[in-house]
C-alpha cells in the first residue's frame, strides 16, 4: 500500500491571520491538483509566534480553522494534517493541531504538549496532555508539534499505537536546522516509521526559518527535502519497507518497558 503526501512549506505572515488563511486555502488547492492523499502544514500558521497578541488573534474555539479545513478537505477530497494554529478555548490559549479526513470530518485534535521556553511559549500557551493517534488515508498515524521531537519518549508513546507515519509540524528556526534533521532521522529510525515533517519558511521579528521540510524513511534516509523556499513538494512512498525493517530488527518486540520507569 502506498500514499502520496504533499508538504506545504509555507511562509507565515506574523499576526496577519487573513493573509495566512488565504495562503493555506491556496496551498490545499494546489495539493489537490497534484492529487495527494494527504497535505501537511507547519506550526502556528494562523498567527505565527505573535504570542503577545493572542488575545486579539488566536482562533476562538478553533472555529475559523475547523470551518475552513473541513470545507477544503471535503471540496477537494483531500486529507489535511492542519499543522497547528493558536486557539483560544475556555479562557486559555493553545497551540492546536486539527486533522481532517477527505470527507471533511475532524479525526483528531491535539494540543502541543512540550512548550518551548526559548520562544517564551509557556508564558502564553497552555500545554496539552493527550496523545495524537489517528487513522488517516487508511494508515495508522501519529502527530506531534515542533519541540515535541526533542522528547523521544513522547513520540514512542504515540508510535506505540502502531503508527506507520509520524507527522511533525514546526516553526523551527534556521540556526538549529541541523538538530532538526538529526532528530527527525532518529525518530524515524527508532520508531521504524516514515516521518513527514513540515517546517515554515520566512521570518518573524526574532527568527529566520529555513524550511527543510522532509520525508524520512524507517531507515533514516531522507526521501525528500523541500529546500529553503516557499513551496509544495510531493512524494509517494509505500509501507512494505516498514514491514521489512520491523521484521529484520524487531525493536518493538525487544523493548523492556519494565525497566524504563
Ligand atoms: O527545539 C527547537 O530548537 C525548536 C522548537 C521550536 O521552535 C518550537 O517548538 O516552536
Structural domains of the chain, with CATH: 2-259 (3.60.110.10)
Share the mean pLDDT of the chain: 97
pLDDT band for position 8 (50/70/90)? very high
83-93 pLDDT tens trace: 999 999 999 99
Question: Whole-prediction pTM value?
Answer: 0.98
Average pLDDT for 67-76: 98
Instruction: Measure the CA–CA gap between 231 and 84, rounded to whole angstroms.
Output: 18
Beta strands 214-216 and 222-225 are antiparallel
Q: What is the DSSP string of 18-54?
A: HHHHHHHHHHHHHHHHTT-SEEE--TTTTT-S-GGGH
Residues with CB under 6 A from ligand 1: 116, 119, 146-147, 150, 171-173, 176
> Which three cell numbers, joined as nine digits, stand for 129?
496532555
pLDDT above 90 as % of the chain: 99
CA 117 – ligand 1 centroid, Å:
9
Residue 121 appears among annotated catalytic residues: no
111-155 pLDDT tens trace: 999 999 999 999 999 999 999 999 999 999 999 999 999 999 999
Predicted local confidence at residue 146, as pLDDT: 98
pLDDT band for position 71 (50/70/90)? very high
Counting from 1 in the atom list of ligand 1, the atom nearest the Cα of 172 is 7
Reduce the DSSP state of residue 219 to 3 states and report it: coil
Average pLDDT for 197-212: 98
233-248 pLDDT tens trace: 999 999 999 999 999 9
CA 152 – ligand 1 centroid, Å:
15
Residue 43 appears among annotated catalytic residues: yes
CA 248 – ligand 1 centroid, Å:
34
Average pLDDT for 20-37: 98
pLDDT band for position 175 (50/70/90)? very high
Q: Is the pLDDT of residue 20 over 90?
A: yes
The residue written with cell numbers 493573509 in the block is 19
> Which three cell numbers, joined as nine digits, stand for 161?
499505537
pLDDT band for position 157 (50/70/90)? very high
Q: Is the pLDDT of residue 261 over 90?
A: no
Residue 74 appears among annotated catalytic residues: no
Q: Is the pLDDT of residue 7 over 90?
A: yes
Amino acid at each position: 500500500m502506498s500514499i502520496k503526501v504533499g508538504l506545504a512549506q509555507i511562509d507565515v505572515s506574523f499576526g496577519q491571520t487573513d493573509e495566512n488563511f488565504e495562503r493555506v486555502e491556496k496551498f490545499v488547492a494546489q495539493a489537490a491538483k497534484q492529487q495527494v492523499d494527504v497535505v501537511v502544514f507547519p506550526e502556528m500558521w494562523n498567527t505565527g509566534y505573535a504570542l503577545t497578541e493572542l488575545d486579539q488573534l488566536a482562533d476562538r474555539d478553533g472555529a475559523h480553522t475547523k470551518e475552513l479545513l473541513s470545507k477544503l478537505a471535503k471540496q477537494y477530497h483531500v486529507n489535511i494534517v492542519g499543522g497547528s494554529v493558536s486557539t483560544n478555548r475556555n479562557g486559555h490559549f493553545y497551540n492546536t493541531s486539527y486533522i481532517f479526513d477527505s470527507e471533511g470530518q475532524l479525526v483528531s485534535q491535539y494540543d502541543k504538549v512540550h512548550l518551548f521556553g526559548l520562544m517564551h511559549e509557556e508564558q502564553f500557551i497552555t500545554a496539552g496532555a493527550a496523545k495524537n493517534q489517528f487513522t488517516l488515508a487508511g494508515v495508522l498515524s501519529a502527530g506531534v508539534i515542533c519541540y515535541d521531537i526533542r522528547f523521544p519518549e513522547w513520540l514512542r508513546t504515540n508510535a506505540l499505537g502502531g503508527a506507520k507515519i509520524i507527522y511533525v509540524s514546526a516553526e523551527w528556526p534556521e540556526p538549529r536546522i541541523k538538530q532538526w534533521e538529526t532528530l527527525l532521522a532518529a525518530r524515524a529510525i527508532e520508531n521504524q516509521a516514515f516521518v513527514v515533517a513540515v517546517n515554515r519558511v520566512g521570518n518573524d521579528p526574532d527568527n529566520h526559518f529555513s524550511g527543510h521540510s522532509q520525508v524520512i524513511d524507517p531507515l533514516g534516509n531522507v526521501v525528500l527535502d523541500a529546500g529553503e523556499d516557499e513551496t509544495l513538494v510531493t512524494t509517494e512512498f509505500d509501507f512494505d519497507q516498514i514491514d521489512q525493517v520491523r521484521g529484520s530488527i524487531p525493536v518493538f518486540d525487544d523493548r523492556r518497558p519494565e525497566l524504563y520507569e
